[in-house]
Amino acid sequence: MEESELKDILLTLVEPNRNSRTDHVPADVNGWRFPSGGGGVGGDDNNIIEDQYQQPVCFWTGVTCDPIDGSITGLNLGKGFYANTLLGISDPSQEAGDEGENQQSNRALVVEQYDYEIDLHKKRHIGSSSSARAENRRTAAESISPTFSSSIGKLTSLRFLDLSSNQLQGSIPKSVLRLPNLEILDVSSNDLEGTFPHFQSEALRVVDLSKNRFHGRLNDKLFGHPDIGPYTAPYLFPLVKFDISHNGFNGTIPLSGTSGFYNSDSKREESLQNLQYFDLGYNLFSGTIPNNF
């Protein structure tokens, strides 16, 4: 992919800055500016922005490239860097002082509960009344919070994606779920929603969806076993970390069998040799803990 194409893809992430009359991006951040003529900034600032745009994309802050072919292999935009630094969106938890420091944990206590039999949708409030205030602050911030850009899915060489703590809303785009080489995905501590996403990469080692608003039952075939499905999701075998805690997932944990996870290639149960961290806490699961664990 040409350098100009890569820049066009990355700049879709900061599209709100295109017509801004000020440069939201701090001076110590490389790249992430539109070329001159793409915004309302003028004078010396315009020259600075043009110089930043001309920086090779592999030198842009938060971007990692393959040293051989120059393809983008990593986007490290987590810990609020995308929303706070690149887009200039303030962090509500910092603005709210001591009360805001607990916003993430309070919001995690307001989970969505779905009753599929009678199609009811209702809120379940757990914990102190401060969770309601956290939800009100979240609602007020919705108008300025960013969404998950589907353009990231065009970076087919991407192996590492960190968008944690960026106030992201909506769902994970299908184009991102189809990334064939993705190894690490961290979208924790956002406002993402939807059912459990189906990843197509068989190289995934880290999946962190914690502290969002995902909901619903886990598909019976997610972990897989001959009794409940034909295979284990391929990405589970190289998995090192799997964290879906602090969401609204419900139903039972879809595991059957006694010793491990079914491998369709060897046609037998195997343990997840690489797994080091597995967290399903703070959801609405019921039933028992399967023997596989």
DSSP-derived pairing of the beta strands 110-115 and 120-125: antiparallel
Residue 196 has pLDDT above 70, yes or no: yes
Do residues 221 and 233 make contact, with C-beta atoms less than 8 angstroms apart? yes
Dump pLDDT digits (tens) for 143-175. 578 999 999 999 999 999 999 999 999 999 999
State the pLDDT at residue 128: 38
Residue 117 has pLDDT above 70, yes or no: no
Tokens of 131: 């969770």
Instruction: Look up tokens 């596989």; give the residue.
Output: 292
The helix (H) or strand (E) run that includes residue 75 is strand 72-76
Do residues 259 and 225 make contact, with C-beta atoms less than 8 angstroms apart? no
Among 145, 247, 246, residue whose Cα is nearest residue 194: 247
CA angle 94/100/104 to nearest 5° reads 105
Question: Who wins on pLDDT, 116 or 67?
Answer: 67
Residue 14 phi/psi, 5° resolution?
Answer: -115, 30
DSSP-derived pairing of the beta strands 277-279 and 241-243: parallel
Question: Who wins on pLDDT, 158 or 263?
Answer: 158
Residue 195 has pLDDT above 90, yes or no: yes
Dump pLDDT digits (tens) for 210-230. 999 999 998 776 765 444 444
Tokens of 8: 């066009």
The helix (H) or strand (E) run that includes residue 3 is helix 3-11
Compute how many other C-beta atoms are within 10 angstroms of the C-beta atom of residue 78. Answer: 20
User: In whole numbers, what is the pLDDT of the chain averaged over residues?
Assistant: 77
Entry pTM: 0.78
Among 181, 221, 225, 172, residue whose Cα is nearest residue 200: 181
Residue 45 phi/psi, 5° resolution?
Answer: -60, -35
Question: Who wins on pLDDT, 201 or 128?
Answer: 201
State the pLDDT at residue 131: 47
Residue 7 has pLDDT above 70, yes or no: yes
CB proximity list for 58: less than 8 A, separation 6 or greater? 64, 65, 70, 72
State the pLDDT at residue 50: 75
Q: What's the whole-number mean pLDDT along residues 49-60?
A: 87
DSSP state of 34: P
Q: What percent of the chain is predicted at pLDDT more than 90?
A: 47
Question: Who wins on pLDDT, 45 or 161?
Answer: 161
